[in-house]
Amino acid sequence: MESVKVIIVGGGAAGLAAAKTLGSNVDYLLIEAQNYIGGRIRTIDAVPNVTVDLGAQFIHGETNNLLYEICKSLDCILPVTDIKSNEILAITSDRTIVDPEIIRQVLIVWEELLDEARSIFGDTTIPKNYPLSDYLLEHLKQRLLSAIPSLDNLVDAFCDFFNKGELIENGCFKLSDLSLAEYGSYEYLNGLYEIEFKNGGYRPFISYMKSFIPDDNRIRLNSEVIRVKYLKENHQLLVNIRHHDKTSEQQQPISAILCDHIIWTSSLGYLKENFSSIFVDEIELIEQKQDAINNLGFDVINKVIMIYEKLFWPENVGDIILLQAQKQKSIEFSNSLKNLLKTEKIDIQLINTIIEAIHRYVVLPSTNIPILICWFGGPAAVLLEDLSEYIIGQICHEVLCYYLNISFKLNPLIRVLKSEWYKNKFIRGSYSYYSIKSSTKDGEQLRATYAPDGIPRIQFAGEATSARAYSTVHGALESGIRESNILLSIMNK
Ligand SMILES: Cc1cc2nc3c(=O)[nH]c(=O)nc-3n(C[C@H](O)[C@H](O)[C@H](O)COP(=O)(O)OP(=O)(O)OC[C@H]3O[C@@H](n4cnc5c(N)ncnc54)[C@H](O)[C@@H]3O)c2cc1C
């Protein structure tokens, strides 16, 4: 039977960082269930010479951020001075354009309120099950109105807009799932918060990280670790692997490898679904982690990427926001879309949920091709996975045209792409958050090492194990380095 020193499970940012840190002299294998390296970083060629990221898109912060340092040295960051489209265009559902000065003031109030919510972190008087939604309900409307009395008839639309954005920011299904007490545990790094990539997106970063792995069959793609058992007698782990490159499920062969250590980096979503079966033989490990896996939050956000031939919104606009007034008029779709929805038997309730969730179109600044990204959170993010790219793209397009008050026939989409992070059975969502059922203790439990003979045998990395930067690429990167350094210190003893 094949035997190696270390198995790294997962080839996302955490697994790649673990491999780079161990170095090529350590006898390791990187086992990846899917047919590509990158995990939740996935850069796609959208149209000739233009890439888009279906997963992670930004770098969050500059100071004390290794990811930023690496990408800066790779010269793949888009300079802020190259971003010409940076104005916000806010439109109400009765097609009124909101004064940019109002938007500026509203954003200040919102940011201040979130800063206050973050400062609650560490306050033990706040019950763990107190959700962020209650805090916002108590303060947001009243703060907005007292800062900007003229907002009166728009205040509810703004509250709704911010709530939808916050679902995406935190990757949670509803804001009542999000813990207020832990909201401030995420550390905002100094510098720009949403650093954009040049055309090529995250791809140069993944290529760079991969370049540290020798080309000697150390990466095994299409290989899912399905069972791990610690063998007391020889202090090794028996790892069963299912090979997914075969066509039929029944024919997928299973192989076994022995190793001394595992660095496990799969998403929390994957762990929620598979942890107890993979580690069925390791009762103590299940006792150590199962509660943390259940308690921590992991839902889904998705993107719909809309590619046009020519620009039809103002050139200086980088962000189109939709403010849905209380009495939202129903949007009259084109006959062809109506017919298609009918033929495909798509439930009207589903369409309404999707329309309601649309609140923002963000221009991709790394290319001259007009590309809008429509971000979805909450129930709509799951529902859209069952729609074809054509249908969801057309819905997003026609809603935008309605708000802009232009004909949807004039500027047809040339391509639509969408992510499906929930359907992906090796990911099962987007990123982790502290739910009202969880606390910092759960994070600690999740990253705790399993050492059945006193020596760390199974270590856990991945974004969800990061204390300060869960949900991010830089958090994932740091977690892989953290666990490999622990292992190196043991191996060098
Ligand atoms: C839509 C979206 C937008 C995002 N935007 C940003 C952003 O702008 N900035 C940012 O910093 N972060 C963003 N994120 C989050 C970021 O992508 C993740 O935090 C990060 O990429 C996670 O890396 P990871 O290595 O921890 O996990 P993953 O990337 O999930 O890697 C784990 C790997 O393990 C594999 N795997 C799972 N189970 C097994 C098994 N049993 N055997 C073998 N392999 C297995 C999976 O296939 C996967 O490749 C976004 C995520 C999404 C989904």
Mean pLDDT on 392-413: 95
State whether the beta carbon of 267 lies less than 6 angstroms from ligand 1: yes
Q: Binning pLDDT at 50, 70 and 90, where does residue 83 land?
A: very high
Among protein residues, the one with the nearest Cα to ligand 1's atom 33 is 10
33 CA from centroid of ligand 1 (Å): 12
Mean pLDDT on 472-483: 98
Quote the CA–CA distance of 397 and 410 in Å, as a whole number.
Answer: 11
Question: Residue 22: inside a domain, yes or no?
Answer: yes
Q: Is the pLDDT of residue 351 over 90?
A: yes
269 CA from centroid of ligand 1 (Å): 10
173 and 129 co-located in one domain? yes
Quote the CA–CA distance of 288 and 48 in Å, as a whole number.
Answer: 49
The best mutation among 59, 267, 271, 362 to test binding of ligand 1, ranked by most ligand atoms within 8 Å of the C-beta, falls on: 267
Return all residues near 422 (Cβ < 8 A) that are at least 6 apart.
269, 300, 302, 381, 382, 385, 428, 429
Q: Binning pLDDT at 50, 70 and 90, where does residue 492 land?
A: confident
Quote the CA–CA distance of 433 and 329 in Å, as a whole number.
Answer: 34
**Could you tell me if 476 and 14 are in contact, meaning their C-beta atoms sit under 8 angstroms apart?**
yes
Among protein residues, the one with the nearest Cα to ligand 1's atom 48 is 39
Question: Residue 47: inside a domain, yes or no?
Answer: no
Ligand 1 atom with minimal separation from the 427 CA: 30
Name the DSSP letter for residue 175. Answer: G
Question: Residue 311: inside a domain, yes or no?
Answer: no
pLDDT of residue 330: 77
- Looking at every residue in the chain, the average pLDDT score rounds to 96
Phi-psi group of 416: left, alpha or beta (phi > 0 → left; psi -120 to 50 → alpha; rest → beta): beta
179 CA from centroid of ligand 1 (Å): 22
Q: Binning pLDDT at 50, 70 and 90, where does residue 327 land?
A: low
Q: Binning pLDDT at 50, 70 and 90, where does residue 346 land?
A: very high
267 CA from centroid of ligand 1 (Å): 6
179 and 229 co-located in one domain? no
- The predicted model scores a pTM of 0.97
**Could you tell me if 27 and 4 are in contact, meaning their C-beta atoms sit under 8 angstroms apart?**
yes
**CA 179 to each of CA 84, 302, 428, 469: distance values in angstroms, whole numbers, following the listed order:** 37, 22, 21, 16
448 and 474 co-located in one domain? yes
Three-class SS state of 226: strand
Three-class SS state of 337: helix
212 and 181 co-located in one domain? no
pLDDT of residue 112: 97
**Could you tell me if 237 and 230 are in contact, meaning their C-beta atoms sit under 8 angstroms apart?**
yes
75: phi then psi, degrees, rounded to nearest 5: 55, 40
The best mutation among 20, 37, 40 to test binding of ligand 1, ranked by most ligand atoms within 8 Å of the C-beta, falls on: 40
CA 392, chain centre distance (Å): 20
Question: Residue 46: inside a domain, yes or no?
Answer: no
**Could you tell me if 183 and 117 are in contact, meaning their C-beta atoms sit under 8 angstroms apart?**
yes
16 CA from centroid of ligand 1 (Å): 11
215 and 288 co-located in one domain? yes
Residue that is last in its domain, among 134, 159, 185: 185
State whether the beta carbon of 197 lies less than 6 angstroms from ligand 1: no
**CA 273 to each of CA 42, 270, 277, 297: distance values in angstroms, whole numbers, following the listed order:** 22, 5, 9, 13
Widest distance between CA atoms in the chain: 74
55 CA from centroid of ligand 1 (Å): 8
Among protein residues, the one with the nearest Cα to ligand 1's atom 37 is 266
293 and 203 co-located in one domain? yes
pLDDT of residue 325: 73
Look-up of token digits 């940076």: 86
Residue that is last in its domain, among 185, 212, 232: 185
Residue that is last in its domain, among 138, 153, 185: 185
440 CA from centroid of ligand 1 (Å): 21
469 CA from centroid of ligand 1 (Å): 13
State whether the beta carbon of 60 lies less than 6 angstroms from ligand 1: yes
pLDDT of residue 493: 81
Angle of helix 389-404 relative to helix 335-343, nearest 10 degrees, comes to: 150
State whether the beta carbon of 57 lies less than 6 angstroms from ligand 1: yes
DSSP lists the bridge partners of residue 416 as: 306
State whether the beta carbon of 424 lies less than 6 angstroms from ligand 1: no
Question: Residue 390: inside a domain, yes or no?
Answer: no
pLDDT digits (tens, 9 = 90+) for 187-239: 999 999 999 999 999 999 999 999 999 999 999 999 999 999 999 999 999 99
State whether the beta carbon of 8 lies less than 6 angstroms from ligand 1: no
Residue 258 exposure: Cα atoms within 13 Å on the Cβ side: 9
Question: Residue 418: inside a domain, yes or no?
Answer: no
Sign, CA torsion 119/125/128/134: negative
pLDDT digits (tens, 9 = 90+) for 248-307: 666 778 999 999 999 999 999 999 999 999 999 999 999 999 999 999 999 999 999 999
472 CA from centroid of ligand 1 (Å): 9
pLDDT digits (tens, 9 = 90+) for 100-157: 999 999 999 999 999 999 999 989 899 989 999 999 999 999 999 999 999 988 999 9
Residue 29 maps to which CATH number?
3.50.50.60
- DSSP string for residues in 363-390: E-TT-SS-EEEEEE-THHHHHGGGS-HH
Quote the CA–CA distance of 376 and 167 in Å, as a whole number.
Answer: 9
14 and 162 co-located in one domain? no
Question: Residue 54: inside a domain, yes or no?
Answer: no
The residue range of the domain holding 432 is 2-41+199-298+426-491
Ligand 1 atom with minimal separation from the 37 CA: 49
Among protein residues, the one with the nearest Cα to ligand 1's atom 38 is 266
178 and 206 co-located in one domain? no
Q: How many domains does the chain have?
A: 2
Quote the CA–CA distance of 389 and 429 in Å, as a whole number.
Answer: 19
The best mutation among 226, 237, 431, 446 to test binding of ligand 1, ranked by most ligand atoms within 8 Å of the C-beta, falls on: 431
State whether the beta carbon of 476 lies less than 6 angstroms from ligand 1: yes
Among protein residues, the one with the nearest Cα to ligand 1's atom 31 is 12
Return all residues near 118 (Cβ < 8 A) that are at least 6 apart.
183, 184, 186, 188
CA 357, chain centre distance (Å): 17
Kind and range of the H or E run holding 31: strand 28-31
Q: Is the pLDDT of residue 247 over 70?
A: no
Question: Residue 421: inside a domain, yes or no?
Answer: no
State whether the beta carbon of 431 lies less than 6 angstroms from ligand 1: yes
Rg (alpha carbons) of the chain, rounded to whole number: 24
For the record, the structure tokens of 422 come out as 């929930």
Ligand 1 atom with minimal separation from the 302 CA: 1
226 and 286 co-located in one domain? yes
127 and 167 co-located in one domain? yes
Q: Is the pLDDT of residue 326 over 80?
A: no
pLDDT of residue 13: 98
224 and 263 co-located in one domain? yes
For the record, the structure tokens of 271 come out as 């762990």
Percent of the chain whose pLDDT exceeds 90: 92
Ligand 1 atom with minimal separation from the 424 CA: 47
Which of 76-80, 164-168, 329-333, 337-341 has the least mean pLDDT?
329-333
Quote the CA–CA distance of 263 and 422 in Å, as a whole number.
Answer: 24
340-364 as b/e, with b when 16 or more CB fall inside 10 Å? bbeeeebeeebbebbbebbbbbbbb
209 and 129 co-located in one domain? no
Angle of helix 13-22 relative to helix 203-210, nearest 10 degrees, comes to: 30
